[in-house]
Amino acid sequence: MKVTEIMRRKMCFSFEVFPPKAEQPLEPLLQTLEHLYRYEPDFVSCTYGAGGTNAGRNVAFCQAIKESGRTIPVTHYTCIGNSREQIKADLQRYLSLSVDHILALRGDFPKGWTETMGDFDYANELVEFIKENFPQFTIAVAGYPEKHFQAPSLEADIAHLRVKQDAGADFIMTQLCYDLDQFRRWMEKIRQAGIHLPIDAGVMPVLTKEPTIRMAVSNGSAVPRELAELIARYGENPEDFKKAGKEYTVRLIYEFVNAGIDGLHIYTLNRWQDVSEILEASGIRGKIRSGE
Ligand code: FAD
């Protein structure tokens, strides 16, 4: 089954995890996965270090998901430092493991880089290459409700998203966003720009103060007043912060679902306990399953 087929039938529900470093065992993440399977994700996506650092663990993990037969693995993949030949070899490897869903990304430049240092400069070129050479893949691309931080304007960024659609992308996975008014405006704008791809909305749980601020700022994302107040009020007390952050995340999940998305994608940060608590408190999995 393809993720796009699932999205045509119902709202999709999925998780993102990141693989361990090369020298660390895979086992803890496999256990995390067992806990996450309880929520019957339609797919689990696995991040990919730009430049291919740690790519082996990404492959091993996607393979483990595939072999479990419990859900669809979606690998992330970036252009950074990659030649056409290398990309071909990597994609063949995924396909040999029956991993045929990919989030095609340019990737962030490693420190000191100002370009991809590979054969492709932008994600749309990677999408086109995959479509031409490996049409078996279902291809997701990144979307930025608050615009990508390097784009000169939201309109320019949406135009680039349109190019990714025209190159053959199948669905959009969105960057973290806490500003739901902006998210709804972006949805409207991309539809007006002729982008009809299904939207899989990424939800970043609010669990700890510094990473929450760091991730928002590094992506050029807004911290709305409600979240800023939460940080101001509970920032010095990690336990209270996490409790309030989880409640905030539950509200956020419902705002996304009510915005008319096609899929809900939880960035788990590999923290299955926290994610489980959020899902239990929200009851969202049952609601999505029953189509309420
Ligand atoms: P592009 O679509 O190529 O866009 C990059 C910038 O260039 C944008 O500003 C865009 O407006 C502009 N642009 C696009 N096309 C053109 C063009 N033809 N001419 C001029 N400008 C253009 N990174 C990782 O390294 N590993 C991961 O696993 C990972 N997972 C992610 C998951 C999600 C859901 C998201 C949203 C992002 C993820 N990222 C990951 C981050 C991503 O790699 C960065 O945001 C990166 O900076 C941009 O990647 P992109 O594919 O959106 O690039």
Residue 140 · residue 196 · CB < 8 Å: no
Torsion sign (Cα): 170, 176, 255, 65: positive
| 54-60, long-range: CB < 8 A, 24+ apart | 54/19, 54/21, 54/22, 55/90, 56/22, 57/19, 57/20, 57/21, 57/22, 57/26, 58/19, 59/93, 59/94, 59/97, 60/19, 60/26
56-65, 71-80, 107-116, 205-214: range with lowest mean pLDDT: 107-116
Q: Running DSSP on this structure, what letter comes out for residue 60?
A: H
d(CA 132, CA 129): 5
* Residue in 205, 200, 270 with CA at minimum distance from that of residue 33: 270
H/E element, 74: strand 72-78
Whether residue 148 has its Cβ less than 6 Å from ligand 1? yes
**CATH number of the domain where residue 281 is located:** 3.20.20.220
Please write the tens of the pLDDT for every residue from 183-201.
Answer: 999 999 999 999 999 999 9
Give the pLDDT score at 37: 97
Give 173-191 as a DSSP string: EEPP---HHHHHHHHHHHH
Q: How far is the CA of 76 from the centre of ligand 1 (A)?
A: 11
Measuring from atom 43 of ligand 1, which residue has the nearest CA? 107
Question: How much is the mean pLDDT over the chain?
Answer: 96
Q: Count the domains in the chain.
A: 1
Whether residue 142 has its Cβ less than 6 Å from ligand 1? yes
Whether residue 106 has its Cβ less than 6 Å from ligand 1? yes
Average pLDDT of 208-214? Answer: 98
Measuring from atom 42 of ligand 1, which residue has the nearest CA? 107
If one compares 290 and 81, the residue with the highest pLDDT of the two is 81
Average pLDDT of 139-146? Answer: 98
Residue 72 has pLDDT above 80, yes or no: yes
Q: How far is the CA of 214 from the centre of ligand 1 (A)?
A: 18
CA 123 to chain centre: 15
Whether residue 246 has its Cβ less than 6 Å from ligand 1? no
Average pLDDT of 261-282? Answer: 98
Residue 264 · residue 278 · CB < 8 Å: no
Residue 152 has pLDDT above 70, yes or no: yes
Whether residue 66 has its Cβ less than 6 Å from ligand 1? no
Give the pLDDT score at 151: 98
Residue 203 · residue 261 · CB < 8 Å: no
For the chain, the helix, strand and coil percentages under 3-state DSSP, each to the nearest 5: 50, 15, 35
Q: Which amino acid is at 271?
A: R
Predicted model pTM: 0.98
Q: Which of 46, 129, 148 to mutate to test the pocket of ligand 1 (most atoms within 8 A of CB)?
A: 148
Whether residue 150 has its Cβ less than 6 Å from ligand 1? yes
Residue 111 has pLDDT above 90, yes or no: no
Gyration radius from the chain CA atoms: 18
Q: Which amino acid is at 234?
A: Y
d(CA 15, CA 266): 5
Residue 2 has pLDDT above 80, yes or no: yes
Q: Which amino acid is at 221?
A: S
Q: How far is the CA of 28 from the centre of ligand 1 (A)?
A: 29
Write out the residue range of the structural domain in which residue 33 sits.
3-290
Measuring from atom 53 of ligand 1, which residue has the nearest CA? 106
Please write the tens of the pLDDT for every residue from 12-66.
Answer: 999 999 999 888 899 999 999 999 999 999 999 999 987 777 888 999 999 999 9
Q: Which of 12, 113, 116, 122 to mutate to test the pocket of ligand 1 (most atoms within 8 A of CB)?
A: 122
Whether residue 19 has its Cβ less than 6 Å from ligand 1? no
Whether residue 123 has its Cβ less than 6 Å from ligand 1? yes
The residues annotated with a catalytic role in the active site are 16
Q: How far is the CA of 68 from the centre of ligand 1 (A)?
A: 30
d(CA 166, CA 157): 14
**How many Cβ atoms sit within 10 Å of the Cβ of residue 44?**
23
Give the pLDDT score at 110: 87
